[in-house]
Structure 1
Amino acid sequence: MTQSLRVLALVCSLRDSSSDSSSDLLARQLIEQMPDVEATVVRVADHDVKAGVEADMGDGDQWPQIRAQLIASDIVILATPTWMGQPSSICQRVLERLDAELSETDEQGRPLTFGKVAVAAVVGNEDGAHHISAIVFQCLNDVGFSIPAQGVSYWNGEAMHATDYKDLDATPEKTASTTKIAAANAVHLAHLLQANAYPATS
């Protein structure tokens, strides 16, 4: 019998939760395709996440509270908009803070992120989804996350276009299909890792 899964979506929109967000929408669509999970969505811009590469940068840093939710999760969704062909500055800050996980290990020498699955969600009005997912995947895998097959869902509008993903009349069929696949593969891999943990490194 499989255990229930906990999902954390880190939405890296430059806007706080007082505004609608295309990144938030796509992250929630991924969650909707993950049956029987306990999910939390965090808009990172709502929190004072200090610059740095430590688990706790002190002086009002709110990353430790977010990190606690991340460590308790089985699947992490990292959702970012595309700006100038790059992930948002908030997404980059999250990746920098995750660098601390390389030195945060369990009693068997494994980073606490081992056994956790990560998927990406990328939106924007210009090309860049493949480039951004490559950056995100490398960073997340480097600190111990496992990436499922086809573990990204994305939507890019036409170059120089003003339409946002959240303003579309309907979700494009290709994006909906990709979202469903990424969600299903993430859940499948998370269950596998629950049952069979990575070996100890020391």
Structure 2
Amino acid sequence: MKAVILLGTLKKEGVSNTAVLSAFFQQKLEKQQVECEIIHLVKERILPGTYTNMGEGDAWPAILDKLTAAQLIIFATPIWWGGHSSEIQKVIERLDHVHDGILAGQPSKLAGKAAGIIITGDSDGAQHIIGNISNFVNAIGLVLPPYASLSVLWEGQKKGASTTREALMQKYEAEYSKTADTMIAQLLKYAH
């Protein structure tokens, strides 16, 4: 079983809440014998557009190949002004070509794969993001099982906080292990 986490943090370096929560989730997946790759989107050269290949140097076609080979696809995003990050929006825009194929009567390249959502922030916005991403993944043939989201809203994650990676991991382990384990069980149950 393979999983890909599409990491939508805007940070290329330093401590990212979303990156740490994704690493926490990756560890949990690997304990269940799931091979997991985290794709740090902001470090990839994903060209703007709504087609699978936007030209020379575009990293998206190779990323899409990884999604096609995986059984689990996780969208991981911080909350920015009540919505998902621009990096996750870029993924949605690039996956629009899969939706075009579905509208043309072709089977989805992603049909039968299970999707999950990871969200970090310091205040409201998780429900809105879950709704938007759920609507999109449904439209491209992914299955979003019940209990397939992991949201951590905590003031220690606010912009500019100096919370360490170790403190974040301790928080996630102490308070979110059961939620993560439930999410993984659901993803494994629903993936085809």
TM-score range (shorter-chain normalised) is 0.7 to 0.9
Conservation of the 8 A alpha-carbon contact between 1:8 and 1:42: yes
Matched letter for residue 106 of structure 2: G
The Cα of 1:28 is off from its aligned counterpart by 2.4
Unaligned runs of 5+ in 2: none
- Residues 82 and 88 in structure 1, CA contact (< 8 A), matched pair in contact too: yes
CA contact (8 A) 1:78 1:120 kept: yes
How many angstroms apart in 1 are the aligned matches of 2:117 and 2:100? 24
Q: Counterpart in 1 of 2:81?
A: 84
Tell me if the contact between 2:15 and 2:164 (Cα under 8 Å) persists in the aligned partners: no
Note closer, same or farther for the CA distance 1:104–1:28 as it changes in structure 2 (3 Å cut): farther
Deviations 1:107-150 (A, max 9, x none): x9311110111100000112111111111111111111100111
**CA–CA separation in structure 1 for the residues paired with 2:64 and 2:155:** 35
Deviation at 1:93, TM superposition (A): 0.8
For 1:157 and 1:172, the matched residues in 2 are separated by 14
Alpha-carbon offset, residue 165 of structure 1: 8.6
Aligned to 1:200: none
Partner of residue 31, structure 1: 26
What CA distance in whole angstroms lies between the structure 1 residues aligned with 2:157 and 2:67?
Answer: 35
Q: Is contact 1:31–1:183 with CA below 8 Å preserved after alignment?
A: no
Whether 1:7 and 2:3 are equivalent positions in the alignment is yes
How many residue pairs align between the two structures? 184
Question: What value does the CA root-mean-square deviation take over the aligned residues?
Answer: 2.2
CA distance in structure 1 between the aligned counterparts of 2:66 and 2:157, rounded to whole angstroms: 37
Residue 110 (structure 1) aligns with: 107
Distance 1:157 1:125 in 2: 5
The answer to whether residue 70 in structure 2 is matched with residue 69 in structure 1 is no
- Could you tell me which amino acid in structure 2 is paired with residue 68 of structure 1? D
Aligned partner of 2:54 in structure 1 is 57
Structure with the higher fraction of residues in helix conformation: 2
Alpha-carbon spacing, 1:102–1:120, altered in 2? closer, same or farther (3 Å): same
Q: How big is the shift at 1:181?
A: 0.9
**Paired residues of 1:122 and 1:154 also in contact (CA < 8 A):** yes
1:142 aligned partner, one-letter code: A
Q: Is the 8 A contact 2:120 2:153 kept in 1?
A: yes
CA positional deviation for 1:170: 2.6
CA distance in 2: counterparts of 1:141 and 1:95, whole angstroms: 12
TM-score by length of 2: 0.87
Deviation at 1:31, TM superposition (A): 2.7
